[in-house]
Amino acid sequence: MNEPDRTPSRRDVLRMLARLGALAAMSVAHPGAAAAPQPIALRPVPRTGEALPVVGLGTWQTFDVGDAAAERAPLAQVLQGLVAHGGRLVDSSPMYGRAEAVVGELAAALGLQQALFYATKVWTTGRAEGVRQMETSFRRMRVERMDLMQIHNLVDLRAHTATLKAWKEAGRIRYMGITHYHAGAHDELARLVRTGDYDFVQVNYSLGERAADARLLPLARETGTAVIVNRPFVEGSLFRRARGKPLPAWAAEIDCTSWAQVFLKWILGHPAVTCVIPGTGNPKHLADNVNAGRGRMPDAALRARMLADFERL
């Protein structure tokens, strides 16, 4: 089901610009603010060598909000924080309600459009309907060229693949990709990765969902396919499992100060992973998440120990 295109009035946009401009001034120029920490690590997109920060931002549920300042203000801080800490990639979809439009409006209001790597998806059937939906995504996110367009959950793969190949050749998109959120689709994702048609594969992978380890991630590395990881916290279930438990002693060896960083660094310790996209609408959680992209990463031996300790939680 496709969401209607609800564009704010000119008056709404002007009011939002004024509110967010004041917010930006307070957050950036506060006299007591500490110096910005070191930017997060970068990894290359295998097909081009373009450097992407290893922690990005997902927008499912968190960016599907209305026009009220109380709803928008923390999201503005999240986008500002992502860029301030060296992040770039923001992932969305027409499936996520108003998220695409909210990202586009906030990025424009805050002057962040050139700083972001925009990724969204096509999620419908039929070539013509796919074109219409993607054109709407361009307008909502306020871009003339999309950095990454992905086929959401492999819906009508053949029709959209043909369109994306043509759009990539014409320069309308920079990269094309495929996505899924469930291990039941990994065999099909692996088959498609083998074709070499797709620059990116987005897949669920975490300490709680490890099926991609078996074949998909090694294959992505072998074929030079960039990997975006979704569901890194398995909708919060990893936090519930670790609630009240102290961080293990080895957390300090990889510069982790929270369970969120432990969960994200285990993912980033895999050499096939390009970027992980935890979703949040909370500026403090954003700052915690991006810290997982700094400092030391676990090697294979430590990842195995992390997994063993997680299984005992």
- Whether CATH 3.20.20.100 fits 50-232+273-282: yes
Report the half-sphere exposure of 261 (CA within 13 A, side-chain side): 24
**Whole-number pLDDT of residue 35:** 55
Closest CA to 117 of 101, 141, 81: 141
Q: Which of 209, 240, 182 is nearest to 307 (CA)?
A: 209
Residue 89: strand pairing partners: 117
Domain boundaries, the chain: 50-232+273-282
Reading the chain (313 residues) residue by residue, the pLDDT tens digits are 333 344 444 355 445 545 555 444 444 434 334 455 677 999 999 999 999 999 999 999 999 999 999 999 999 999 999 999 999 999 999 999 999 999 999 999 999 999 999 999 999 999 999 999 999 999 999 999 999 999 999 999 999 999 999 999 999 999 999 999 999 999 999 999 999 999 999 999 999 999 999 999 999 999 999 999 999 999 999 999 999 999 999 999 999 999 999 999 999 999 999 999 999 999 999 999 999 999 999 999 999 999 999 999 9
> Full-prediction pTM beyond 0.85?
yes
Per-residue DSSP letters for 106-163?
HHHHHT-GGG-EEEEEE-SSSHHHHHHHHHHHHHHHT-SSEEEEEEGGGTTHHHHHHH
Sequence-ordered alpha helix ranges (H) in the chain:
10-29, 69-84, 99-110, 127-141, 157-170, 186-195, 216-223, 237-242, 259-268, 283-290, 300-311
Neighbouring residues of 159: CB distance < 8 A, sequence distance ≥ 6: 125, 126, 127, 130
DSSP-assigned beta bridge partners for residue 230: 204
CA distance 13 to 8: 6
Q: Give me the pLDDT at residue 38, please.
A: 74
Rounded Cα distance between 47 and 26, Å, is 40
Instruction: Name the β-bridge partners of 90.
Output: 57, 118
Give φ, ψ of 149 to 5 degrees. -115, 130
Model pLDDT, residue 10: 39
CB 107 within 8 A of CB 142: yes
